Chain A
Amino acid sequence: MAISHWVWLAVAFPLAGFLANGALALRRPQARGLVSLIGPGALLAAFAVSVGVFLELLREAPHAPTIVRLWSWLPAGRLQIDLAFQVDQLAAVMLLVVTGVGSLIHIFSVGYMKEDPGYARYFAYLNLFVVFMLVLVLGSSFPVLFIGWEGVGLCSYLLIGFWFNDKANADAGKKAFIMNRIGDFGFLVAMFIIWSALGTLEFAEVAARAPRMLTQNGAVVTLITLFLFLGCTGKSAQIPLYTWLPDAMAGPTPVSALIHAATMVTAGVYLIARTNVLFALAPTTSTIVAGIGALTALFAATIGLRQYDIKKVLAYSTVSQLGYMFLGVGTGAYVSGVFHLVTHAFFKALLFLGAGSVIYAMHHAYHVTHSHDDAQDMRNMGGLRRYMPITFWLMMIATLAISGIPPFSGFFSKDEILAAAFARGETQPVYYLFYAMGVLAALLTAFYMARLMAMTFLGQNRTGEKERAHLHEAPWTMTGPLVVLGVLSALGGALNLPPFAAGSAALEHWLEPVTAPAAQFFGLQMPHGSVEYFLVGAAVVVGALGLVAGFRATLGRPIAPARVALPETGFARVLSRKYFVDEFYDAVVVRPLVWLSRAVLWKGVDQGVVDGAAVNGTAKLSQGLGWLGSRLQTGQVGMYVVFFLVGVLWILRAVIR
Chain B
Amino acid sequence: MTQLLESTGFGQWILHVLILLPLLGVVPLLLGPESSAKRTALAVTILEFVLSVGLWWALDPALGGLQLVSDTPWIRSWGISYRVGIDGISLVMVLLTTAMMPLSVLASWHSIVKQERAFYALLLALLTGLLGVFIALDLFVFYIFFELMLIPMYFIIGIWGGANRLYAAIKFFIYTMAGSLLMLVAIVVMVWKVSEATGLMSFSYEFLLRNSAAVGSSAPWLFAAFALAFAIKVPIFPFHTWLPDAHVEAPTAGSVLLAAVMLKIGTYGFLRFAVPFFPQVALSPGVSRLIVVLAVIGIIYGALVAMVQPDIKKLVAYSSVSHLGFVMLGIWGGTVESVQGALMVMISHGFSTGALFLLIGMIYERRHTRMIDAYGGIARVVPIFSLIFTVVALSSIGLPGLNGFVGEFLVLLGAFPAYPWATVIATTGVIFAAAYLLWALQRMIFNPLDNPENQRLTDLTRRELAIMLPLLLGIIWLGLYPAPVLRRMEPSTQRYLQMVQPRVGAPSSIEVGSAAEVRP
Give B430-482 interface residues, CB cut-off 8 Å to A. Answer: 430-431, 434-435, 438-439, 442, 446-449, 480-482
With beta carbons under 8 angstroms apart, the residue of B308, B379, B413 that contacts A164 is B379
Interface residues on B, range: 35 or more
State whether the Cβ of A493 lies closer than 8 Å to any Cβ in chain B: no
Stretch binding the partner chain, chosen from A417-425, A478-486, A592-600:
A592-600
Give B157-195 interface residues, CB cut-off 8 Å to A. Answer: 171, 174-175
State whether the Cβ of B503 lies closer than 8 Å to any Cβ in chain A: no
Contact, CB under 8 Å: A77 / B400: no
State whether the Cβ of A71 lies closer than 8 Å to any Cβ in chain B: yes
Task: Name the distance in Å between A370's Cβ and chain B's nearest Cβ.
Answer: 21
Note all chain B residues with C-beta closer than 8 A to A77.
335-337, 340, 414, 490
Contact, CB under 8 Å: B438 / A174: yes
Contact, CB under 8 Å: A215 / B517: yes
With beta carbons under 8 angstroms apart, the residue of A164, A212, A597 that contacts B305 is A597
Task: Name the distance in Å between B399's Cβ and chain A's nearest Cβ.
Answer: 5
Stretch binding the partner chain, chosen from B83-91, B116-124, B251-259, B380-388:
B380-388
State whether the Cβ of B377 lies closer than 8 Å to any Cβ in chain A: yes
State whether the Cβ of B241 lies closer than 8 Å to any Cβ in chain A: yes
Stretch binding the partner chain, chosen from A181-189, A283-291, A547-555, A563-571:
A181-189
- In the assembly, what is the distance between CA of A173 and CA of B336, in Å? 38
Note all chain A residues with C-beta closer than 8 A to B340.
76-77
Question: A79-B337, A166-B448 in contact; A594/B308 too (CB < 8 A)?
Answer: yes
Task: Name the distance in Å between A224's Cβ and chain B's nearest Cβ.
Answer: 11
Contact, CB under 8 Å: A196 / B387: no
Interface centre among A73, A171, A173, A218 (most CB of B within 10 A): A73
* Nearest 6 CB-CB pairings of A with B: A77-B336, A164-B446, A192-B416, A597-B304, A598-B308, A170-B446
Contact, CB under 8 Å: B308 / A611: no
State whether the Cβ of A195 lies closer than 8 Å to any Cβ in chain B: yes
Note all chain A residues with C-beta closer than 8 A to B410.
74, 76, 79
Stretch binding the partner chain, chosen from A147-155, A266-274, A304-312:
A147-155
Can you name the residue of chain B whose Cβ is closest to the Cβ of A612? Answer: B241
Task: Name the distance in Å between A88's Cβ and chain B's nearest Cβ.
Answer: 22
Give B393-409 interface residues, CB cut-off 8 Å to A. Answer: 394, 399-401, 406, 409
Contact, CB under 8 Å: A73 / B481: yes
State whether the Cβ of B238 lies closer than 8 Å to any Cβ in chain A: yes
Per-residue CB contact flags for chain A residues 186-203 toward chain B (1 = under 8 Å, else 0) read: 001101110111110000
Note all chain B residues with C-beta closer than 8 A to A171.
442
With beta carbons under 8 angstroms apart, the residue of A164, A178, A614 that contacts B447 is A164
- In the assembly, what is the distance between CA of A588 and CA of B519, in Å? 43
State whether the Cβ of A298 lies closer than 8 Å to any Cβ in chain B: no
Per-residue CB contact flags for chain A residues 84-116 toward chain B (1 = under 8 Å, else 0) read: 000000000000000000000000000000000
State whether the Cβ of A165 lies closer than 8 Å to any Cβ in chain B: yes
Task: Name the distance in Å between A153's Cβ and chain B's nearest Cβ.
Answer: 9
Contact, CB under 8 Å: B510 / A75: no
Stretch binding the partner chain, chosen from B126-134, B265-273, B421-429:
B421-429
State whether the Cβ of B513 lies closer than 8 Å to any Cβ in chain A: yes
Contact, CB under 8 Å: B305 / A606: yes
Task: Name the distance in Å between B81's Cβ and chain A's nearest Cβ.
Answer: 35
- In the assembly, what is the distance between CA of A213 and CA of B518, in Å? 5
Contact, CB under 8 Å: A174 / B442: yes
Contact, CB under 8 Å: A165 / B241: no
Contact, CB under 8 Å: B483 / A185: no
Note all chain A residues with C-beta closer than 8 A to B301.
601, 605
Contact, CB under 8 Å: A150 / B304: no
Contact, CB under 8 Å: A76 / B414: yes
- In the assembly, what is the distance between CA of A3 and CA of B77, in Å? 73
Can you name the residue of chain B whose Cβ is closest to the Cβ of A218? Answer: B517
Question: A77-B335, A161-B446 in contact; A189/B427 too (CB < 8 A)?
Answer: yes
State whether the Cβ of A83 lies closer than 8 Å to any Cβ in chain B: yes
Can you name the residue of chain B whose Cβ is closest to the Cβ of A602? Answer: B305
State whether the Cβ of A615 lies closer than 8 Å to any Cβ in chain B: yes
- In the assembly, what is the distance between CA of A191 and CA of B435, in Å? 22
With beta carbons under 8 angstroms apart, the residue of A79, A83, A151, A610 that contacts B399 is A151
Can you name the residue of chain A whose Cβ is closest to the Cβ of B335? Answer: A77
- In the assembly, what is the distance between CA of A609 and CA of B416, in Å? 32
Note all chain A residues with C-beta closer than 8 A to B438.
157, 174, 177-178
- In the assembly, what is the distance between CA of A174 and CA of B438, in Å? 7
For this complex, 23 residue pairs linking A to B, each with C-beta atoms less than 8 Å apart, are: A26-B383, A74-B483, A77-B337, A78-B336, A79-B410, A151-B399, A164-B379, A165-B448, A173-B442, A174-B442, A178-B438, A188-B412, A192-B412, A192-B423, A196-B509, A197-B517, A212-B519, A215-B519, A219-B517, A601-B301, A601-B304, A610-B240, A615-B241
Note all chain A residues with C-beta closer than 8 A to B517.
197, 213-215, 218-220
Note all chain B residues with C-beta closer than 8 A to A143.
400, 409
Contact, CB under 8 Å: A83 / B442: no
State whether the Cβ of B307 lies closer than 8 Å to any Cβ in chain A: yes
- In the assembly, what is the distance between CA of A606 and CA of B448, in Å? 33
- In the assembly, what is the distance between CA of A159 and CA of B305, in Å? 29
Give A18-41 interface residues, CB cut-off 8 Å to B. Answer: 26
State whether the Cβ of B284 lies closer than 8 Å to any Cβ in chain A: no
- In the assembly, what is the distance between CA of A623 and CA of B336, in Å? 48
State whether the Cβ of A631 lies closer than 8 Å to any Cβ in chain B: no
Question: A76-B410, A79-B413 in contact; A154/B394 too (CB < 8 A)?
Answer: yes
Note all chain A residues with C-beta closer than 8 A to B316.
none
- In the assembly, what is the distance between CA of A508 and CA of B405, in Å? 37
- In the assembly, what is the distance between CA of A173 and CA of B304, in Å? 21
- In the assembly, what is the distance between CA of A606 and CA of B417, in Å? 32
Per-residue CB contact flags for chain B residues 6-31 toward chain A (1 = under 8 Å, else 0) read: 00000000000000000000000000
State whether the Cβ of B3 lies closer than 8 Å to any Cβ in chain A: no
Contact, CB under 8 Å: A185 / B413: no
- In the assembly, what is the distance between CA of A596 and CA of B307, in Å? 11
Note all chain A residues with C-beta closer than 8 A to B328.
none
Note all chain B residues with C-beta closer than 8 A to A215.
517, 519
- In the assembly, what is the distance between CA of A605 and CA of B240, in Å? 12
Contact, CB under 8 Å: B424 / A610: no
Note all chain B residues with C-beta closer than 8 A to A150.
399-401
State whether the Cβ of B487 lies closer than 8 Å to any Cβ in chain A: yes
Contact, CB under 8 Å: A165 / B377: yes
Task: Name the distance in Å between B412's Cβ and chain A's nearest Cβ.
Answer: 6
Contact, CB under 8 Å: A26 / B510: no
Contact, CB under 8 Å: B446 / A75: no
Per-residue CB contact flags for chain A residues 125-166 toward chain B (1 = under 8 Å, else 0) read: 000000000000000000100110011001001000100111
With beta carbons under 8 angstroms apart, the residue of B238, B304, B401 that contacts A593 is B304
Note all chain A residues with C-beta closer than 8 A to B486.
74-76
State whether the Cβ of B152 lies closer than 8 Å to any Cβ in chain A: no
Can you name the residue of chain B whose Cβ is closest to the Cβ of A144? Answer: B400
Task: Name the distance in Å between B206's Cβ and chain A's nearest Cβ.
Answer: 25
Contact, CB under 8 Å: A196 / B447: no
Contact, CB under 8 Å: B442 / A170: yes
Note all chain B residues with C-beta closer than 8 A to A197.
510, 513-514, 517
State whether the Cβ of A653 lies closer than 8 Å to any Cβ in chain B: no
State whether the Cβ of B341 lies closer than 8 Å to any Cβ in chain A: yes
State whether the Cβ of A59 lies closer than 8 Å to any Cβ in chain B: no
Note all chain A residues with C-beta closer than 8 A to B482.
73-74
Can you name the residue of chain B whose Cβ is closest to the Cβ of A151? Answer: B401
- In the assembly, what is the distance between CA of A154 and CA of B402, in Å? 12
With beta carbons under 8 angstroms apart, the residue of A178, A191, A596 that contacts B413 is A191
Contact, CB under 8 Å: B304 / A178: no
Task: Name the distance in Å between B331's Cβ and chain A's nearest Cβ.
Answer: 14
Task: Name the distance in Å between B335's Cβ and chain A's nearest Cβ.
Answer: 6
Note all chain A residues with C-beta closer than 8 A to B241.
606, 610-611, 615
Question: A185-B430, A192-B412 in contact; A165/B380 too (CB < 8 A)?
Answer: yes
State whether the Cβ of A557 lies closer than 8 Å to any Cβ in chain B: no
- In the assembly, what is the distance between CA of A177 and CA of B393, in Å? 13
Contact, CB under 8 Å: A188 / B335: no
State whether the Cβ of A167 lies closer than 8 Å to any Cβ in chain B: yes
Q: A151-B399, A165-B380 are in contact. List 14 more A-B contacts (CB 8 A).
A: A77-B336, A77-B340, A83-B480, A150-B401, A165-B447, A177-B434, A177-B438, A178-B438, A181-B431, A185-B430, A213-B514, A598-B308, A601-B301, A605-B238
